[in-house]
Amino acid sequence: MARIDYYTTYAHLYDRFYSGPQGDLAFYQELVEDIDGLIVEVGVGTGRIAIPLALQGKQVVGLDASHEMLTLARGKAIEAGVTNRLGLVQCEMARFGLRRPGVGVLLTACTFLYNLTTDAQLATLRCCYEALLPGGLAAIHLFNPDLALIAEGLNQDGEWHPMSHPWSAYQSRYWPMQQLTTTRYRRETPGGRAEYAEFTLRWVYRHEMEHLLVRSGFEVRDVYGDFDGSRLTEDSPSQIWIAQRRGA
C-alpha cells in the first residue's frame, strides 16, 4: 500500500475533477469589479479563480502550499498572457505576509477548512487581516455543515463507495467532537498495487465563524448561503463570509 498526496501526485488531474461551486467565479468577479488595488487569493490552486481575475485587469497574488499546483497555475497564466498581473507564491496560509497590503483577500473553495485547529484558524485570519489595507475586504467560502449527512457518514462507518477514474473508490470518515472529516481515495495501479490519497477538513459552524472573524479584528459585513446571494439558512450548501478590516 502506498500513500500519496492528493495535491502533488494527482495535481495534474485536479481541474478535470473539480470545477468549483456553481457561480463562485462570477461572484468573486463581481465582488472585486469596482475595487482598485491588489487582490490576494489564499489557496490559489491551479489558478481557476485568479487567472480570470487577472484577465479582468486586476493585479493578483496567488498563494498555495503545493508546488505542483503552482506549477500548473504558472503554465496556465503563461497561456492566458497574464504573468504581468499574476504573482504566485508557495507558502502556508497560516504563515504568510505581503510586502504591500491589498484591498481584497479571497479564501475560495473551502481552503480555510484545511486549518485543523483553532490556533491555525486564527493565525490564518490574522495573516489575512494584516494583508489588507484599512477598509479592505475578505471573502471566505466554507461548506455549510449538513448534520444529516454527518449522521449518515457515522452510520456508514468508513464504507467504500465506487467512483470513476482515476480513483476506484472513496471513503468518508467523521469525528463530530473534533469537527473533522477525512475523505480518502483508492486506486489500483496496473501492477495491482493499491494507492491511497486523502485530505482532512475541519468544518465550522455559523456563529463559530463569526466569533473567529471578530476575534481576529474583522467586522462582518455579510454572510450568504450560496453564490447567488441568497441568505444563509440551515439548508444552505455554503457559508460565504464578507468581512472588512477596520479603519476605513
pLDDT tens by residue, 33-79:
999 999 999 999 999 999 999 999 999 999 999 999 999 999 999 99
| Residue 106 and residue 63 in one domain | yes
Q: What is the CATH number of the domain that holds 43?
A: 3.40.50.150
Instruction: Kindly report the pTM of this predicted structure.
Output: 0.93
Q: Is residue 4 part of a domain?
A: no
Domain range for 152 = 147-202
The verdict on residue 59 lying in a domain is yes
Q: Are strands 132-143 and 238-245 parallel, antiparallel or unpaired?
A: antiparallel
Same-domain status, 214 and 135 = yes
The answer to whether residues 81 and 179 belong to one domain is: no
1 pLDDT more than 60: no
Report yes or no on 3 lying in a domain.
Answer: no
Q: For residue 140, list its beta bridge partners.
A: 107, 241
Of the candidates 83, 48, 44, 47, which has an alpha carbon nearest to the alpha carbon of residue 64?
44
Burial of 164 (0-12, 13-18, 19+ CB in 10 A): exposed
Same domain, 166 and 43: no
Is position 2 within any domain?
A: no
The answer to whether residues 160 and 227 belong to one domain is: no
pLDDT tens-digit series, residues 117-174: 999 999 999 999 999 999 999 999 999 999 888 888 777 767 888 887 777 888 888 9
Q: How far is CA 50 from CA 34, 77, 147, 206, in A?
A: 16, 9, 32, 27
* Number of domain units in the chain: 2
Angle at which helices 206-215 and 118-130 pack, to 10 degrees? 50
Q: What is the DSSP string of 26-46?
A: HHHHHHHTT--SEEEEES-TT
**What type of residue is 112?**
F
| DSSP one-letter code for 159 | -
67 part of a folded domain: yes
Cell representation of residue 10 = 494527482
Instruction: Identify whether residues 126 and 141 lie together within a single domain.
Output: yes
Answer yes or no: is 56 within a domain.
yes
Tell me: do 152 and 137 sit in the same domain.
no
